Structures are given as C-alpha cells and as structure tokens.
Amino acid sequence: MTSEASRRSSERIYQELKQHIQSSMKPGAPLPSSRSLVEQHQASPNTIQKVVSRLMQEGLVVSRAGRGVFVAEKPQITSSTADFGWQSVLLGASPALQQDFQSLYTPAPAGVIPLGSGYLDASLQPGALLAAAMQRASRRPLIWDRISPEGLEPLRNWFAQKLGVQAQNTLITSGAQTALSTVFSVLAHSEGLPVLVESPCHLGTLAILRSCGMKPIPVPADHAGMRPDLLEQLLQSTSARILTCQPTYQNPTGLCWPEQRRKDILALCKKHGVLIVEDGATQDLGLDGPPPPNLVKMAPEQVVHVYSLTKPVAAGLRIAAIAATGPVLQRLRTALVVDDLFVTGVMQEAALELVTSAQWSRHLKTVQGTLKERRDVLVGQVQVHLPNWKIQHVPTGGFYIWVKLPEDQDDAVFARLALQHGVQVSAGHAWFPAESEGPHLRLSYAGASLEQIRQGVTTLADLGSKK
C-alpha cells in the first residue's frame, strides 16, 4: 500500500471510530481490541495503533495499564453563570496594550494572507539545518543535565564576537522578549519610573514597560531615527535616565540610524548619565548592505544590548543574548536565575550547531535576498494600487514598511475589515506610547510569498476604494 493510500485508510478508520465513540458508546466503555479492529477494518496493526494514539491525543479514549483502552469520561463543564467578580477585583483594570500585543503575536488563521507577520514563513526557515542541529545536540553527553545559568561558553563566545564585546559580559536567554523583560524588571526600581522611547515604539517593549510599572516618554523620530534635539530637551526637563531603542531596522518603521546619529545619541546619553537598552532583534537582516555598528560596540559601558536568533531563523528558536557591563550585569545574572534558572542545554547546543555551520552564512544571504525581493514588490504594489497611502520610509532591512493612511480612515477598523476579507495587517495606533500621530498600518513582507503580497495589496486597495 502506498503512503497516500495508507494515509487515506488511516483517516477513514479514524473518522469511523470517532463517530462510533461519540454516537454509540458510553463513557467508560471498552474499545474493541486491536486484533478485532485489525480484522474489522482490514488494516495493519500499525495503522490501528496510529488511529488509537490519535484518539488518545484528542482525549476521546484513555489507556488503562493491563486492561485496555476505554472511552474517556466527559469533562465537567463549568457553569457559565459562575461568579468571577472576585477575580476582576483582584486583577484590576484590563491592560489594553497587552491585549494588542497578544493579538499581534497570534498567528494568522489558515487561508489568511499574513501581511502582519513578525516572523519568517516556512519557506525561509532553515528546517533541515535545524533538524540536523537538534539531532546532533540531543546526542551530546549529559545534554539534559543542568548547565551554567549564564549559558554555554561556546555560544556566549559566538554572541560576544558578533557584538564586539567580551564573552564574560554576555548572558544567554530564552528569546529577546524574555531578555527585555528581565532587563526592565531589573531597572524598574520605583513605580512610574520614566523611560525614554522611540515614537512609534516596538509594541513588545511598550507592553513590558507598562507591566513593570514604568512610564514610557516618547521621543519623536525623523528620517534618520530618534531626534537628538528633542531627546536633549527631554533629558533637561525630565528625570528620565533610561532610554530604549531599536537603532537597526526598527519595528514598526524600519528606520536604521546612520552612524552619525548613533554617535549623537550616545554623546547626549553619556553627558546626562543615561543607560541605553538596545534591541537588536533584526540586525542580521540588512537588505541593502550591512548596517552601521551597534551602539553596544561603540559604547559598551553605556549600553545593555539584546541580540536574538529568532528573527533570522524561526519563531520557535527562542535563543537570545544580553550583553552588558558593570553592576547591571550582575543584577541581570541574578534575575535570570530567579526567573528561569537556565536555558535548556539542547536548545543552546542546537543554536550553536546552526550558527557555526558552513551553511549559516548561506542561509542569511538567502533570507536577505528573498526579503529584499519581497520588500520591493510590496513597496511597488502599494505605490501603484494605493497611491493615497504614504510610505513613511523604504526600509534598508528588517521585515516592515510603515504607511500613513488618509486622515479620514481608522486604522483599527480597517485592520479588522481586512482580516474579514482574508488579509492580516497591523493597525498602527498601539505602537504610539502617547497620542497617535494619525492612522497608520504596519505591513510585513516576512511571512508572505510574492503572490500573496500582490493578492493582499489588491484586496486592501479594493477595501480602501470602498471607504
């Protein structure tokens, strides 16, 4: 029997058994023996075993050691009239921004064009490399034992070399969001502590700051990034001494600060004693050449840097590093131990296998080339089909373009309407730490093919014309 025929046979048997269980069998009733099912359905024992395993995974049947397989008891349904008022009092007001953040990272439903995706689609993920790396890593001696909270030394060395810092000044974490959460939890020594942020700002950073009780203070940007003149005014008029930013391919605008702008910001921060938290999540995704040096490389004593492998690889590779110097490094080391003990060794070993393989640089070049083609198509399609939408900046790297909608449109309403018509986009209002600067959309070219991009923009244009 061919694999396709076997799959169809397995699906047929599964559907028949599921229907029989749900319509004719009582909870606790025994399922026929595997031998009986083999004879009844004229199937192999292996096929029957796969079908029964699938029914177990779905909670329809349970196995009882030495007795057989039985129809599962139906779970007790909690009454919809239960009084949860006491929980509402305990939780307080609903954090609307956190809800925006959660919806942003929810994958697009099947069949929906993901122009809101923040991750590479499957065609760009190095699946074979990851599988081989995980296989090799899983065979390492003592791989499931506890390891140093700081992370594997060879992986820390690799991150340090990439960032131009000392290996002893790096810590491994389970993803950039965890790293940023740890950094700001360490810095949040008082309620309402002011933090200077870009406007618009990475939504995940805003969510973390507010969950830590910190107060984001917006610093507007121009074509080159955060404006030094406005930053200096805020440093003179507020007590803020922490600044967080994404100088390289910022989310959502795609801006990349030129080297002189980086020097200007660093000089101001040094003058006023400001600690900078630099998010470098997409620094490997330059589409028109390499970006300028990271802030941490230019001024390591002033900067806490977060560098992640997730964006250039896949959403499931939750490996990142924090680079820092001075007392803040020890505080971060302690906080990571309290929060997570350590990142599992097999994931760190697999990440190390991946980034030190001969195919790593080839993977990055492939991703960069494909993203550049997608970016160009998305920009061109918007310019042709939606001429009244203003592209704020054509990014030189990263995943996103940031577009300004006509003033009479509501970005949140338009995003919901687009989703109803099969296109996922991200409404821009949530990215502003204070008042929104008009209706915007963040459009991504990371998770959609060229054909999906063309189809998606055509749909958006149709919806825009009906406004």
* 374 contacts 448 by C-beta, under 8 angstroms: yes
pLDDT at 254: 96
How many C-beta atoms surround the C-beta of residue 443 within 10 A?
A: 27
Of 185, 184, 186, 158, nearest to 172 by C-alpha is 158
* 177 contacts 204 by C-beta, under 8 angstroms: yes
Can you spell out the DSSP letters for 59-119?
A: TSEEEETTTEEEEPPPPPPPPTT---HHHHHHH-S--HHHHHHHHHTSPPPTT-EETT--S
Cα angle: 23, vertex 27, 28; to 5 degrees: 135
Distance CA(449)–CA(109), nearest Å, equals 16
pLDDT average per 10 residues of sequence, the chain (467 residues): 69 86 86 87 85 84 82 64 60 54 65 92 93 87 80 93 93 90 90 92 92 92 94 93 96 96 97 95 94 96 95 92 93 84 83 93 96 98 96 95 94 93 93 89 96 96 79
What φ, ψ does residue 343 adopt, rounded to 5°? -85, 130
Residue with tokens 């998606």: 456
pLDDT at 23: 83
pLDDT at 155: 94
pLDDT at 137: 84
Query: The whole model's pTM is what?
Result: 0.80
- 247 three-class SS: coil
Q: What is the pLDDT of residues 401-458, one digit of tens each?
A: 999 999 999 999 999 999 999 999 999 999 999 888 889 999 999 999 999 999 999 9
- Whether the upstream peptide bond of residue 32 has omega within 30° of 0, thus cis, is no
* 323 contacts 296 by C-beta, under 8 angstroms: yes
Write a three-state SS string for the chain. CCHHHHHHHHHHHHHHHHHHHHHHCCCCCECCCHHHHHHHHCCCHHHHHHHHHHHHHCCCEEEECCCEEEECCCCCCCCCCCCCHHHHHHHCCCCHHHHHHHHHCCCCCCCCEECCCCCCCHHHCCHHHHHHHHHHHHCCCCCCCCCCCCCCHHHHHHHHHHHCCCHHHEEEECCHHHHHHHHHHHHCCCCCCEEEEEECCCHHHHHHHHHCCCEEEEEEEECCEECHHHHHHHHHHCCCCEEEECCCCCCCCCCCCCHHHHHHHHHHHHHHCCEEEEECCCCCCECCCCCCCCHHHHCCCCEEEEEECHHHHCCCCCCEEEECCCHHHHHHHHHHHHHHCCCCHHHHHHHHHHHCCCCHHHHHHHHHHHHHHHHHHHHHHHHHHCCCCEECCCCCECCEEEEECCCCCCHHHHHHHHHHCCEECEECHHHCCCCCCCCEEEEECCCCCHHHHHHHHHHHHHHHHCC
| Exposure class string for 356-379: b at 16+ Cβ within 10 A, else e | ebeebeebbeebbebbbebbebbb
Domains and CATH numbers, the chain: 3-71 (1.10.10.10), 97-124+362-465 (3.90.1150.10), 130-355 (3.40.640.10)
- Whether the upstream peptide bond of residue 141 has omega within 30° of 0, thus cis, is no
Q: What is the pLDDT of residues 144-161, one digit of tens each?
A: 877 888 888 999 999 999
* 160 contacts 169 by C-beta, under 8 angstroms: yes
Expressed in angstroms, the distance from the first to the final Cα of the chain is 56
pLDDT at 85: 59
pLDDT at 452: 96
Distance CA(352)–CA(167), nearest Å, equals 15
pLDDT at 341: 77
